[in-house]
Amino acid sequence: MRIGIVCPYSFDVPGGVQNHVMDLAEALLGLGHEVSVLAPADEDAPLPAYVVSAGRAVPLPYNGSVARIAFGPVSTARVRRWITRGDFDVLHVHEPLTPSLSMLAVLCARGPVVATFHTAMTRSRVLSAAQGLLQILLERITARIAVSALARKVQVEHMDGGAVEIPNGVAVAKFAGVDPMPGWPGECAPGRGGTVGFLGRFTESRKGFPILRDAFVALAPHRPGLRLLVAGPGDPDDLYGQFPAGLRERVTFLGMVPEADKAAMLRSLHLYVAPNTGGESFGMILTEALAAGTTVVASDLDAFRRVLDGGRAGRLFPTGDAVALRTALTELLDDADRRAGLSAAGDQVVANFDWPVVARRVLEVYAAAIEATDGRVMDREWVELA
């Protein structure tokens, strides 16, 4: 099968959707299909052989974060050429309501289109001002996939249609059996040691880092060996400035961690903490931590609860409650058997998210979309967008 996949967000900056697209493409290639991915990226950016750059992206505030997207007449022409040259059996676009390449690809498509919705956002300000465009987009999509029950709920209640729920995948083999970073995670004697970690934008409020910071600051004086490992974008001074001077040496900031090194980072922890406060439709980092065999402590968000099987595969704490998080950290750091039990349950849960399993479900949607259009090429004019 010839498959074209479109990512709306720039490959120059790591992100959940970008990782999803790359892992899906590699899983489909591994199953014997032809795959081409179109995404924004600098022309000289190092890209996998299956990725085609659509040019440099520009930053745009979107869905509580900053998205790097590509739009306009130049991007439209590149999308059009890529679709024509690819002659795809099916076009798979991600986040088509984001004003970027996926939206353009839907408007330029001439065959079956499958769309994956990652977020649980009901409307954006851009689309609220362009209801006619929203309707055109939805009418041109043959089949929809939602990565979570929350994202699917949006499709049913706000987008006049349903969606097949297929979760984000995780490349389990890439995370299992990887060695931790030298010197980590160290000892975890009851009442003394332990390493907890966070990966993400510590400056972004919905990621909830201040909740973990407060729990760590309250717990560290009573636990002399406790360490905090932080990875993600940001200024080291902004991070260390959040901690009392006497505790800063027990905080280690790695900065941006390449995808190839993420597994080692996660394996270097006794506990991975996800203190997010909202805006999450799935919880990709949770599945990655589970695949690495690391015990997870997470906010009791609906999306996280679903990934962790209601708490069977990880410890949940009330969202936003730093005192409850401190209690959870203390209990688990003092109980190696409990950590091992949660990790074993995590192994069982994450097997359902392994990319070969997920990719086969996506292929079933492709087949249904192709059958629904009966292999027809739609006779529609190419769009021109300013």
What does the pLDDT look like over 105-120, one tens digit per residue? 999 998 999 999 987 6
Give the model confidence (pLDDT) of 249-285 as tens digits: 999 999 999 888 999 999 999 999 999 999 887 888 9
The reply to whether 2-169+354-373 and 172-352 are identical in fold is: yes
Enter the tokens of residue 185: 């995670």
Domain boundaries in the chain? 2-169+354-373, 172-352
Say how far residue 94 (Cα) sits from the centre of its chain: 12
Q: Which long-range contacts (CB under 8 A, 24 or more apart) does 157-161 make?
A: 157/122, 158/122, 158/123
Give strand pairing partners of 132.
none
Which option is the CATH number for 2-169+354-373: 3.30.465.10, 1.10.510.10, 3.40.50.720, 3.40.50.2000?
Answer: 3.40.50.2000
Sign of the C-alpha dihedral computed for residues 236, 241, 242 and 246 taken in this order: positive
Of 175, 134, 174, the closest CA to residue 155 belongs to 134
Cβ–Cβ < 8 Å for 68, 99? no
* CATH code, 172-352: 3.40.50.2000
> Which of 150-159, 175-184, 267-276 is modeled with the greatest confidence?
267-276
DSSP string, 146-187: ESSHHHHHHHHHHSSS--EE-PPPB-HHHHTTPPPPTT-S--
The reported pLDDT for the residue numbered 162 is 78
Give the model confidence (pLDDT) of 205-227 as tens digits: 999 999 999 999 999 999 999 99
Predicted TM-score (pTM) of this structure: 0.81
The reported pLDDT for the residue numbered 159 is 67
The reported pLDDT for the residue numbered 286 is 96
Of 318, 221, 337, the closest CA to residue 277 belongs to 318
Largest CA distance in the chain: 70
